[in-house]
Homo-oligomer: A and B are copies of this chain.
Amino acid sequence: MEAGGSVAGGGARVSAPAPAGARGAPPTEDRPIVVKVGGAEGVDLDAVATDVAELWVEGRRVVLVHGGSAETNRIAEALGHPPRFVTSPSGHVSRYTDRATLEVFEMVYAGKVNKGLVERLQRRGAPAVGLSGLDGRLFEGRHKRSVRSVEGGKTIVLHGDHTGTVDRVNVHLLLLLLGHGYLPVLTPPGASEEGVAINVDGDRAAAAVAVALGAEALLLLSNVPGLLARFPDPSSLIDHVPAADVRRFLDVAEGRMKKKVLGAAEAVAGGVRRVVLGDARTATPVRDALGGRGTVVA
């Protein structure tokens, strides 16, 4: 993971414990928090916005990253272009993003959900600025044009896919906004090296942002209490995962949680001291996660 652009301050990456203020990094409390809220059913965007705005007004720097998957599926269905999910030979399930799907994706993620969050934050006094990963190539990476799909026991290749990875974060643009008092609200898609829109994973994009900004913490909030030893039993919550061991927990994670554990692993490997996999359905989801409720990776 590489931080692109010129780093104008505050973007130092800490890959080993260091005293606050060392190596040019600001003191811990000035390091931003990166909050990712998923787009699954049940997440409370009003509660997330209330917490984020309050933290901002209290003087914390926050970057909010969000998804929009459930709403994208609903709108795509309504427009007569239902979502298509593919299963790779290794068993990984992902959205097949042809051009028409990408446009619905942009409408929901960068339009409805992003501007809905920006509006909620503005109404609560936080000067939010909403951007997709295309804008200023905030999330830049490789375009994967085809995907292998196992269908009826056979593996077929689907072309025209618009997915990719986040290999670089435009930390220059993020620091420009943060440094001038704006709260960035970020969402997929990203941009390929050729400038083409690509569907990128929001959790891993948030992890890349946290690494690039040297974030104090990364909070990955969704519609489950955290990492569960016996999904979906909430009493099986794993409350702590040692940072060095996080990849071992990839096998424990079910479905969407796999990407969150992967994001957590990438964040701690990149110097983020604490990742919390938390619940976005509570009354104060950001404060709860910041206080350690959920699965703490540290």
Chain A residues in the interface with B (C-beta under 8 A): 75, 78-80, 103, 106-112, 114-116, 118-119, 122-125, 127-132, 134-137, 172-173, 176, 180, 182, 189, 191, 194-197
CA distance A232 to B115 in the complex (A): 37
Q: Identify A194's interface contact among B123, B132, B191, CB under 8 A.
A: B123
Chain B residues with Cβ below 8 Å from A107 are 75, 107-108, 111-112
Q: Identify A136's interface contact among B125, B129, B173, B194, CB under 8 A.
A: B129
CA distance A141 to B137 in the complex (A): 30
CA distance A115 to B132 in the complex (A): 8
- Whether B108 pairs with A135 at a CB distance below 8 angstroms is no
Quickly give the copy total for this chain: 2
Q: Decide: A191 near B79, CB < 8 A? Known: A111-B112, A180-B176.
A: no
- Whether A123 pairs with B182 at a CB distance below 8 angstroms is no
Q: What is the chain B residue whose CB lies nearest that of A103?
A: B112
Residue with the highest number of chain B CB atoms closer than 10 Å, among A111, A125, A128: A111
Q: Identify A176's interface contact among B110, B176, B191, CB under 8 A.
A: B176
- Whether B115 pairs with A137 at a CB distance below 8 angstroms is no
Chain B residues with Cβ below 8 Å from A75 are 79, 107
Residue with the highest number of chain B CB atoms closer than 10 Å, among A75, A112, A125: A112
CA distance A195 to B103 in the complex (A): 27
Q: Decide: A173 near B111, CB < 8 A? Known: A123-B196, A134-B122, A196-B119.
A: no
Q: Decide: A134 near B123, CB < 8 A? Known: A107-B112, A111-B108, A111-B111.
A: no
Chain B residues with Cβ below 8 Å from A79 are 75, 78-79
Chain B residues with Cβ below 8 Å from A129 are 131, 135-136, 173
Nearest-Cβ distance from residue A141 to partner chain B, whole angstroms? 13
